[in-house]
Chain A
């Protein structure tokens, strides 16, 4: 039974409600309006907003006569996207970028695991990891690219190196936190079952650290993605071996603005797709096990 509302200001001495049933309080007008929009499902609300923005974008381009050398409208960008994906111009760079990212993430993950194992196992390792992370993590890995090119030459090794570097430190931090915050009681249970060494790590510590691990991989991916695109922009390999960053730069040299936008949209879409993938993974594991705050049961 909702609490009775206060008598509205205005007409003085509002009559007392009749004994028995109270009248239902009326919603104020603003709440009614809000309830209308708010009642639509999330996807619909976002979709409508997105469509409205795209329409505004197209409207501006068509009406204001913006120079196509500077700015492209959604119709042209969509056309460029379709052409790029169907005809393959966008496919090869995308695959190149994803391949380099994947390689860098793999190396970074392995190193993160190794460093974390050392950090969790020994005091010296812990100090070393903390120091290195504090110094290197704040540095955008792209800034290391010129050095990497000197060390490894003008080839993909330099690119993979900076990606691995971008991924390594946030992952090591997350993994370390994950391992360190395994509840002592859970570990004690493992030990009381007679688990030791690797079995204890595999069956107890690793699964317990999963929320932090996934968060670490997710953060690592985010840094890695941004780094590879930026590195490709700086690196400038021509021809078939270039990635999405080079594709955008190349399109810019040739004043192909719709393709610049198409490249950007592709980058964003991949980012969104992978984010959704991570969310799905989390939902199937960490959320299902109630290992996150506010999880649905």
Chain B
């Protein structure tokens, strides 16, 4: 996969917000009643930028992503996407999950992407052509006719990314997509994803628990606190993508400190 020059296009984060999350609270109804995961979250995502959502375990970052995707209704607050509210799930906010169940096992790699295109209105022949292009674009030209169970974990995630991008979404939602992969594969996929996003100018909202990944891939990092969570801080990491650079280390330290504080308050200190 060709690595395009960094000096590409408009700086991300200019223009009106594509996504506005304002005072959103969301939780679950369990046997003991309502449990709040997110108490009050507010942040924005502008067209073209990559925003990372990070926080301690159970802070509701995946839940927030699902609200934006349209799978959940917020208990309070407002979510405005592209000027609309009351969102249902749709291809304009294509999702890449962590689990390999996101690929349809009865279809080939090509079939998975082509089906997604057909289901959202693309005619059959064009869907196949587009599907092939996108799969080649993620480096899977040799695996088009394989079924998901014949693909490695990394290859499956590439297919999922290709499928999501083929839908030409307004925003790409990613829920810890590389969390189940080994370090080497993860590194390669992070690199390739960054290149793809740069080349296509896709807006991305990415949930992660890895500080390094957040700094590497993100333009801004939204740090959530402990459950019931609020946005603690938004750390700007635009342009910070070389792990050996001092800005990288500084950003990493800042994030680690923020998350460590959360951990401390979570487990009440002995003194």
Tell whether any CB of A sits under 8 Å from a CB of B in the complex.
Answer: yes
Q: B101 to A194, Cβ gap below 8 A?
A: no
**Other-chain residue from A183, A186, A189, A199 in contact with B95 (beta carbon distance below 8 A):** A189
Question: Using Cβ atoms and an 8 Å threshold, which residues of chain B touch A295?
Answer: 149
Question: Using Cβ atoms and an 8 Å threshold, which residues of chain A touch B148?
Answer: 290
**A215 → B minimal CB distance (Å):** 16
How far apart are the CA atoms of A216 and B133 in the complex, in Å?
Answer: 40
Question: Using Cβ atoms and an 8 Å threshold, which residues of chain A touch B91?
Answer: 192-194
Any B CB within 8 A of the CB of A125: no
Q: A185-B99, A191-B89, A195-B119 are in contact. Are A204 and B104 (CB under 8 A)?
A: yes
**B20 → A minimal CB distance (Å):** 20
How far apart are the CA atoms of A177 and B37 in the complex, in Å?
Answer: 31
Q: B90 to A186, Cβ gap below 8 A?
A: no
How far apart are the CA atoms of A290 and B106 in the complex, in Å?
Answer: 8
Q: A192-B89, A289-B147 are in contact. Are A185 and B102 (CB under 8 A)?
A: yes
Max count, chain B CB within 10 A of own CB: residue among A191, A194, A203, A290: A194
Tell me the residues in window 140-165 of chain B with beta carbons closer than 8 Å to chain A beta carbons.
147-150
Any A CB within 8 A of the CB of B105: yes
Question: Using Cβ atoms and an 8 Å threshold, which residues of chain B touch A210?
Answer: 106
Any A CB within 8 A of the CB of B258: no
Q: A193 to B101, Cβ gap below 8 A?
A: no
Tell me the residues in window 193-212 of chain A with beta carbons closer than 8 Å to chain B beta carbons.
193-195, 199, 203-204, 207-208, 210
How far apart are the CA atoms of A195 and B91 in the complex, in Å?
Answer: 10
Which residue of chain B has its CB nearest to the CB of A210? B106
**Other-chain residue from B95, B99, B105, B119 in contact with A291 (beta carbon distance below 8 A):** B105
**Other-chain residue from A192, A194, A291 in contact with B106 (beta carbon distance below 8 A):** A291
Number of A-B contacts (CB under 8 A): 68
Tell me the residues in window 54-92 of chain B with beta carbons closer than 8 Å to chain A beta carbons.
69-71, 89-91
Tell me the residues in window 84-131 of chain B with beta carbons closer than 8 Å to chain A beta carbons.
89-91, 93-95, 97, 99, 101-102, 104-106, 115-116, 119-120
Q: Range of interface residues on chain B?
A: 20 to 34
Question: Using Cβ atoms and an 8 Å threshold, which residues of chain B touch A291?
Answer: 105-106, 149
Question: Using Cβ atoms and an 8 Å threshold, which residues of chain A touch B99?
Answer: 183, 185
**Other-chain residue from A184, A194, A208 in contact with B89 (beta carbon distance below 8 A):** A194
Which residue of chain B has its CB nearest to the CB of A203? B119
Question: Using Cβ atoms and an 8 Å threshold, which residues of chain B touch A195?
Answer: 119
Q: B97 to A193, Cβ gap below 8 A?
A: no
Q: A290-B148, A295-B149 are in contact. Are A185 and B101 (CB under 8 A)?
A: yes
Q: A194-B91, A203-B119 are in contact. Are A185 and B97 (CB under 8 A)?
A: yes
Any B CB within 8 A of the CB of A285: yes
Q: A188 to B149, Cβ gap below 8 A?
A: no
Binding site for B on A (CB under 8 A): 183-186, 188-189, 191-195, 199, 203-204, 207-208, 210, 285, 288-291, 295, 297
10 extra A-B contacts, CB within 8 A, seeds A192-B69, A208-B105, A290-B105: A185-B97, A188-B97, A189-B104, A192-B71, A193-B119, A193-B120, A194-B91, A207-B104, A290-B147, A290-B149
Binding site for A on B (CB under 8 A): 69-71, 89-91, 93-95, 97, 99, 101-102, 104-106, 115-116, 119-120, 147-150, 167
9 contacts between A and B (CB under 8 A): A183-B101, A185-B101, A186-B101, A188-B71, A189-B102, A189-B104, A192-B95, A193-B116, A207-B106
